[in-house]
Structure 1
């Protein structure tokens, strides 16, 4: 059985303006090419345990099939790789390929040695449209494509079947509305047992924002304007989404506010929480309950439909001379091809980054057999329609929005006032003031 070994949450949001100023000033050209023997390239990644084993097997396969190239890998913690890449670039020793969080795309786009993949992925053999829209959006900054999708995930409802049955509630369906969700959460809540209908991260971090944004999109709103010049999350849609959270937390008291952002799987596993909105990474942390998975609810009458959010990560290529650059591009193309995507997903339990793989019934059945419920997360990838804005100021925007959401759920502010205040902070950041 596939067992996930890490908790996957949105990547850290880092403001690195000062560091980039030093990097941009100090950068020179890429490293030289080897004149004889196979072209050697290095891949930095954060894979460990099962993922690390599967990834190394793919590299070995590539090297055996491509004797003119020698790919080596170097483990680097995903959380720290951006800083390490910046330091390496400054010292003219950048990796050829690095696994990097999609939330870093605006920062990555500024690195002079970045290989803009826009011309590459436009070639038919890449089948760029086979990647999900949210993945492509997270890899695109302006007219640059800064990377190729390496990982995709999403949020869905994970629920305790026994608690639903005990409360006389029918299991969630793909047609559920947020009204249905709220009603079920209220019925699942029992203060005498310390039992809640739903748990949400409430530390004001990007994880808090991650849970709110799909609701914002489903209500017909967005985080920023189309030109990314002003905040729009304080729209009528934004207020509607946050009002629901207020009603559940303050009025119904059916929402457990996890201010440490560490208790979700533990409380779910112990039967104290009826529902989580989480990703496939938490499924292996629920061995003690019979759980089900269903797509996110939507708002009645909304054109937004059943949307979800993803934090796609990317394979980023750096220019270390023509031969190494071409070898790196070729390796990433091979690694992200359907055959390798399928092999990696089945070996690790990660979701497939390509639609063609996700639409293979035999693949989905095999993946779901290894980790029950993962098949629904695969299907839910079709609801990944948008991505967070790829702007440098996003960390400041997320922080303001996260604090606003928490203040409302704690009963300290009203939704409209909290969002207006956060929007003002976001607009200031966007204006560079």
Structure 2
């Protein structure tokens, strides 16, 4: 008996040292072990626009596919109403006792400052991965103080949509490759003159008069419209480089009357193009998928790069979203696996489906899905290399300021533009002070 006992002790010790355990799915006594289900909750903004609905539907689809592929994991898409903005809605949600693990939404400096988003770089390094497959400009913009706060997704650079028929009718060469704002406006004048329609108001171009375009113009001239801290526009929005750039735009708009002002580069641009009111329009990639629903019109539309100042550099203030892991998540490892398997995996079903509506940020996926070979989408992809952070990414409060552009739009000279920009800068600065 003593010998048997000794052998038993040695065997038990050997098993312990070897790290052996009971077979998976069993407990002592032969009872099946309860499988612990991991629950991942992804927060994203609710909304009624086609873009938001498509994004929600796609992530919900991928959540179900992931649950099927990875047993024991449940993925929930939680849609947040955001009447006062997405960041406040996220802040309020994170105060609750309910868990949350991932966040899909626009780059938001407020959430970043509050430390709500985890740094992904240590996770890349732990798995011996790099960010090389992501476009460098986007990775740089999503990195704040040395921390990668999310995987950049759905970038929205500006580019020029143009109607090929309008160019042919006016006898103007279609734009290709690098060009300047002077060339853009000269083309707009000729397009308007060569495409008049009795009883219909037409323009050579449509231009979004917003902070995204202003920042692109300013950075092309080597100057931002806002201070580095993001808290002041006076001395920046009305600086000489910005005034000269905006003055050039206004001169061509008001002297030739060939360009129409719209409030943004989104749905309004699609409306102007689909109604064939303009020969060119500066807009975001979202319009491309909308135009795709009209094959007859789509065949007439080309895309050219965003122009730059004649003596300036290419600059494109682009918005983008991120898929981030929340700092307070208790399932960071499972959340990171979801990001790797779905968002970063260039072969995932997600890339193909997401690429039907959005620009992909994985170089390999853009190549495999054909985005890099598409004549129009390849232009938008090329614009990513000139990407810069929009002014609102320096200060989230800028997204909610009220801007009165009537005086600026009516400016007939550089002096008048300077006075209007100075007034606008002072008004915005006061609003920023009031929001503190």
TM over 0.5: yes
- Uncovered stretches (5+) of structure 1, i.e. residues with no partner: 1-34, 203-207
Q: Which among 138, 153, 156 is matched to residue 156 of structure 2?
A: 153
CA distance in 2, matches of 1:318, 1:334: 18
Q: CA deviation at 1:176?
A: 1.7
Matched, 1:364 2:370: yes
Secondary structure (helix, strand or coil) at the match of 2:404 reads helix
Q: CA deviation at 1:242?
A: 0.4
Matched, 1:256 2:260: yes
Matched, 1:269 2:274: yes
Provide the TM-score with structure 1 as the length reference. Answer: 0.75
- 2:75 — aligned with what? 71
CA distance in 2, matches of 1:200, 1:135: 25
Q: CA deviation at 1:264?
A: 2.9
User: Which deviations, in whole Å up to 9, do the C-alpha atoms of 1:54-106 show, x marking residues without a partner?
Assistant: 4344334433443343323234467764343222212222521121211xx22
CA distance in 1, matches of 2:380, 2:149: 26
Check conservation: 2:208, 2:261, Cα contact below 8 A.
yes
1:430/1:393 CA distance change after superposition, 3 Å: farther
- 1:38 — aligned with what? 37
1:49/1:114 CA distance change after superposition, 3 Å: closer
Check conservation: 1:38, 1:68, Cα contact below 8 A.
yes
1:194/1:171 CA distance change after superposition, 3 Å: same
Provide the TM-score with structure 2 as the length reference. Answer: 0.75
Secondary structure (helix, strand or coil) at the match of 1:414 reads helix
CA distance in 1, matches of 2:231, 2:290: 41
1:238/1:295 CA distance change after superposition, 3 Å: same
User: Which deviations, in whole Å up to 9, do the C-alpha atoms of 1:302-343 show, x marking residues without a partner?
Assistant: 2x13x3232111123224554x13222332233331425784
CA distance in 2, matches of 1:78, 1:197: 37
Matched, 1:220 2:226: no
CA RMSD of aligned residues (A): 3.4
- 1:390 — aligned with what? 393
Q: CA deviation at 1:392?
A: 3.5
- 1:5 — aligned with what? none
CA distance in 2, matches of 1:426, 1:123: 44
Q: CA deviation at 1:168?
A: 0.8
CA distance in 1, matches of 2:430, 2:424: 10
- 1:188 — aligned with what? 191
- 2:12 — aligned with what? none
CA distance in 1, matches of 2:222, 2:328: 44
- 2:357 — aligned with what? 349
Secondary structure (helix, strand or coil) at the match of 1:293 reads strand
- 2:249 — aligned with what? 245
Check conservation: 1:106, 1:141, Cα contact below 8 A.
no
Which of the pair has more CA radius of gyration?
2
1:262/1:423 CA distance change after superposition, 3 Å: same
- 1:309 — aligned with what? 317
User: Which deviations, in whole Å up to 9, do the C-alpha atoms of 1:231-268 show, x marking residues without a partner?
Assistant: 42333221122012211221111111236986432232
Secondary structure (helix, strand or coil) at the match of 1:55 reads helix
- 1:325 — aligned with what? 332
- Uncovered stretches (5+) of structure 2, i.e. residues with no partner: 1-33
CA distance in 2, matches of 1:223, 1:355: 31
- 1:403 — aligned with what? 404
Query: Larger relative CO (CA 8 A, sep 6+): 1 or 2?
Result: 1
- 2:383 — aligned with what? 380
Between 1:154-163 and 1:55-64, the stretch displaced more is 55-64
User: Which deviations, in whole Å up to 9, do the C-alpha atoms of 1:128-151 show, x marking residues without a partner?
Assistant: 354334433543444554332232
Q: CA deviation at 1:415?
A: 1.9
CA distance in 2, matches of 1:155, 1:96: 32
